[in-house]
């Protein structure tokens, strides 16, 4: 039995947590025993992972790179679990995995670059490079991430591995659920629904403000349209104020955080994500599984997920006018929406399933174990 210790930051509802749930569900339990350390737990994902028989241990915040008390907690868990593989993701998880894996002489150390670190300061880049020296492999979740590892950090090519993210294929949402949501939000049958999903914690990241301003332009030309924003965070208040300032309150819906997010994708006709940076853009893959045409910014992993003029449109960051123009094209052309949606579904099925992701991770684990001859 190969024991794998995953270490991540706060376990909430993001992409890293979803991939750990996929691993808990789909890793071959006859070969692997999985345990997860995180700093904190929020929401339903920890319980969902525990239901798969995987222990989740929250140890509290890593307050600094050399937080001795937190490293002691990790070392104690290592002593008890005796992992063959330690796999760190997100900066805090990478730090704890690299340091403690090295000190405790864990046979295999895997680090994972899960962000689009274009704004990472030189100290952060230097630390990531130093930590990577301890690793057998450094995984990038998108070509943008592996480019960063190769060109910015200048890691050896044989140490870098691309494993693109994967998501669960959604079950079909009952028609009655869609109808109930449209009734709840007073969406008429002839209205086009534009949707977006994400945390509202930093506008410098997700740029919902750009989408709202683009929608305000669109609404002047196309009145039969609504915008649904799914997500929560302290930035939500400022977004609501912006909507009021632009006098588009009747057309914008703040749905808040949703556990059953698939139901909302089923209501959308178009999906839009205009982040300033994004390592992958997991919600784009989710939208494509729902056969939605996509408008996204040409950044990070998103520029690889969206195939221009085939599954959707790519726009430059902060280009509000261009966002509005591309949304208008899709609003006015139902055939194009269907074409992009079907193409996106085919691409997602080929590249972005959780089964494919876990298969790639399992292959990596087994290859490294064989190489180390544990």
Residue 169 buriedness (CB in 10 A; 0-12 / 13-18 / 19+):
middle
Integer-rounded Cα Rg, in Å, for the chain is: 21
Q: Which of 265, 205, 213, 252 is nearest to 233 (CA)?
A: 205
Over residues 205-214, mean pLDDT:
95
Measured CA angle at 161 (ends 121, 280), to 5 deg: 60
Q: Report how far apart, in Å, the C-alpha atoms of 69 and of each of 72, 101, 106, 140 are.
A: 5, 16, 20, 29
Residue 52 pLDDT greater than 60, yes or no = yes
Over residues 110-132, mean pLDDT:
87
pLDDT > 90: percent of the chain: 78
Q: Write the pLDDT tens digit of every residue in 321-332.
A: 999 999 999 999
Over residues 219-238, mean pLDDT:
91
Q: Which long-range contacts (CB under 8 A, 24 or more apart) does 331-340 make?
A: 331/192, 331/194, 331/218, 331/222, 331/225, 331/270, 332/222, 336/293, 337/269, 337/270, 337/293, 338/291, 340/293, 340/294, 340/310, 340/311, 340/312
Helix (H), strand (E) at residue 167: none
Q: What mean pLDDT value characterizes the chain?
A: 93
Residue 207 pLDDT greater than 70, yes or no = yes
pLDDT value at residue 76: 95
Q: Write the pLDDT tens digit of every residue in 81-113.
A: 999 999 999 889 999 999 999 999 999 999 999
Q: Which of 148, 147, 275 is nearest to 205 (CA)?
A: 275
User: Would you say 362 and 28 are in contact if contact means Cβ atoms under 8 Å apart?
Assistant: yes
Over residues 64-85, mean pLDDT:
92
Q: Write the pLDDT tens digit of every residue in 160-184.
A: 999 999 998 998 899 999 999 999 9
Q: Which of 250, 304, 296, 254 is nearest to 271 (CA)?
A: 296
Over residues 68-82, mean pLDDT:
93
Q: Pairing between strand 108-113 and 137-140? A: parallel
Residue 10 pLDDT greater than 90, yes or no = no
Higher pLDDT, 106 or 204: 106
Q: Which of 56, 116, 57 is nearest to 91 (CA)?
A: 116
Over residues 212-236, mean pLDDT:
92
Look at phi and psi of residue 250 and say left if phi exceeds 0, alpha if psi is from -120 to 50, else beta: alpha
Q: Pairing between strand 270-273 and 2-7? A: unpaired
Please report the beta strands in 209-262, taking only residues with DSSP state E, as ranges in sequence order: 225-230, 252-256
User: Would you say 219 and 191 are in contact if contact means Cβ atoms under 8 Å apart?
Assistant: no
């Amino acid at each position: 039995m190969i024991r794998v210790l995953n270490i991540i930051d706060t376990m909430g509802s993001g992409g890293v947590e979803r991939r750990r749930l996929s691993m808990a569900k789909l890793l071959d339990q006859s070969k692997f025993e999985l345990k997860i350390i995180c700093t904190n737990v929020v929401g339903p994902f920890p319980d969902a992972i525990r239901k798969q028989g995987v222990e989740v241990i929250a140890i509290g915040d890593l307050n600094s790179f050399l937080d001795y008390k937190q490293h002691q907690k990790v070392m104690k868990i290592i002593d008890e679990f005796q992992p063959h593989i330690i796999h760190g993701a997100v900066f805090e998880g990478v730090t704890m995995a690299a340091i403690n894996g090295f000190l405790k002489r864990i046979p295999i150390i895997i680090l994972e670059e899960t962000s689009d670190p274009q704004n990472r300061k030189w100290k952060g880049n230097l630390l990531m490079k130093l930590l990577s020296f301890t690793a057998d492999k450094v995984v990038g979740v998108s070509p943008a991430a592996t480019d960063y590892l190769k060109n910015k950090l200048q890691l050896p090519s044989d140490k870098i591995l691309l494993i693109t993210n994967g998501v669960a294929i959604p079950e079909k949402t009952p028609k009655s659920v869609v109808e109930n949501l449209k009734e709840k939000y007073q969406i008429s049958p002839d209205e086009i629904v534009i949707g977006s999903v994400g945390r509202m914690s930093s506008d410098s990241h997700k740029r919902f403000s750009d989408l709202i301003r683009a929608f305000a332009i669109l609404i002047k030309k196309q009145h039969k349209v609504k915008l649904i924003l799914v997500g929560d965070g302290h930035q939500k208040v400022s977004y609501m104020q912006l909507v009021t300032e632009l006098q588009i309150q009747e057309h914008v819906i703040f749905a808040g955080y949703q556990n059953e997010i698939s139901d909302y994708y089923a209501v959308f006709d178009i999906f839009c994500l205009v982040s300033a940076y994004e390592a992958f853009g997991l919600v784009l893959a989710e939208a494509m599984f729902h056969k939605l045409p996509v408008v996204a910014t040409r950044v990070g992993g998103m520029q690889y997920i969206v195939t221009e003029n085939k599954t959707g449109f790519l726009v430059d960051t902060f280009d509000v006018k261009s966002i509005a123009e591309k949304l208008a094209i899709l609003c006015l052309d139902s055939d194009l929406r269907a074409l992009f949606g079907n193409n996106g579904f085919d691409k997602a099925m080929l590249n972005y399933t959780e089964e494919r992701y876990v298969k790639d991770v399992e292959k990596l684990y087994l290859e490294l174990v064989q190489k180390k001859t544990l």
